[in-house]
Amino acid sequence: MKKIGIICKPRPQEAEGVLKELHKWLLDQGLEVLMDNETALMAGTESDYQRVHLPPICDLIIVLGGDGTLLSVSRLVYDYDVPILGVNLGGLGFLTEVTLDNLYPTLKNVLAEDFELNERQLFDTHIHRKGERIAEYSVVNDVVINKGALARIIDLETFVDGKYVTTYRADGLIISTPTGSTAYSLAAGGPILYPTRRAMILTPICPFTLTNRPIVLPDDVKVEVVLATENEDVLATMDGQLGFSLECGDIVEIRTNNKKIKLIQPIDKDYYQLLRTKLKWGEQPPIRKP
């Protein structure tokens, strides 16, 4: 690895010192450091690059921030075979697994090629209106279809591979990747899936019928959700960052993308330890060990 990209969440008070120190450390290793213009400004230097320009010219991209920053970067890199190292600057951080305390030991291992690649699947999301495709997105975490501020239930007719499943009468519906199973889907009562598994999760949000429970589907199916409610403010939101306003009769189609994002994971990283830490599970050690 010779060319290292850095993308930092624009949060100067928390990130500026970390960024400047990291920039100097990488230069001291004889590496070429590339940054987008906003990140460069925080580091006290200049750049003509925007974020979208970095993936095709970098061997590695370091993301300083939280899961939201990493999600936005992931949608830029999946067309390129470039891994991401997510560094957590605070907050929950299921994707940005590397802590500041472990940043430089982890980087030394990465430069020595002593690491694991954790591959995560994506969804392709297409929105159809009156027989025409009017929008398309790539999704790392989830697609959420839900109403606006008014407390009214919406009807979402749901099909899998053209077969009718049910009409969810609910506040909304979450279609999640395994990576997104620890995000909004978890808060809505969905299951946790091991993030490298290949599957799709449908999780209704506050369903009117309590027997409408989350369901896990194979990753090779096509899910179609038809908005069957008129005169409501309904949005399809991708990864909590991109939104599209829906009309009655619109179809939200979700399929698994064959491409993957590659997250660098330290060799000693334990996903179950991550769950215990992030979700505040019991800290008592097991009585018996295998």
**In a domain? residue 289:** no
Query: Which residues have CB under 8 Å from 185's CB, separation 6+?
Result: 142, 174, 176, 201, 203, 214
Count structural domains, the chain. Answer: 2
Asked if residue 283 belongs to a domain, the reply is no
Residue 209 lies in a domain: yes
Annotated catalytic residues are: 67
Residue 227 covered by a domain = yes
> Which residues, at least 6 apart from 10, have a Cβ–Cβ distance to it below 8 Å?
38, 42
Based on the fold, state whether residues 127 and 110 are members of the same structural domain.
Answer: no
Structure tokens that stand for 273 in this block? 């330890």
The domain that contains 49 carries what CATH number?
A: 3.40.50.10330
Say whether pLDDT at 12 is over 80. no
Where are the extended beta strands (E) located within 14-131? 32-35, 60-65, 84-88, 116-129
Residues 190 and 224 in one domain: yes
Q: Can you give the pLDDT at residue 78?
A: 84
Structural domain boundaries, residue 253: 122-258
Q: Is there a single domain that holds both residue 178 and residue 79? A: no
For residues 132-160, give the mean pLDDT. 91
- pLDDT band of residue 93 (cuts 50, 70, 90) is confident
User: Distance between CA 128 and CA 251 in Å, rounded?
Assistant: 5
Decide if 76 is inside a domain: yes
Question: What angle (nearest 5°) sits at the alpha carbon of residue 248, between those of residues 246 and 254?
Answer: 55
Together in a domain, 59 and 151: no
pLDDT of res. 79: 86
Interval 153-210: pLDDT, tens: 899 999 999 999 999 999 999 999 999 999 999 999 999 999 989 999 999 999 998 8
Nearest to 264 by CA among 105, 72, 65, 106: 106
Query: Nearest-CA neighbor of 254 among 139, 88, 164?
Result: 139
Based on the fold, state whether residues 246 and 150 are members of the same structural domain: yes
Q: What is the mean pLDDT of residues 222-232?
A: 92
Band (101; pLDDT cuts 50, 70, 90):
confident
Percent pLDDT > 70 in the chain is 95
CATH of the domain at 232: 2.60.200.30
Tell me, yes or no, if the pTM score tops 0.85.
yes
What average pLDDT does the structure give for the chain? 90
Token pair listed for 15: 């990130």
DSSP 8-class letter at 30: T
> 10 and 137: one domain?
no
Q: pLDDT of 32-91, one tens digit each? A: 999 999 999 999 999 999 999 999 999 999 999 888 889 999 989 988 889 999 998 866
| Domain assignment of residue 225, yes or no | yes
Residues 35 and 55 sit within 8 Å (Cβ to Cβ): no
Residues 28 and 80 in one domain: yes
Identify whether residues 92 and 130 lie together within a single domain: no
Does one domain contain both 127 and 247?
Answer: yes
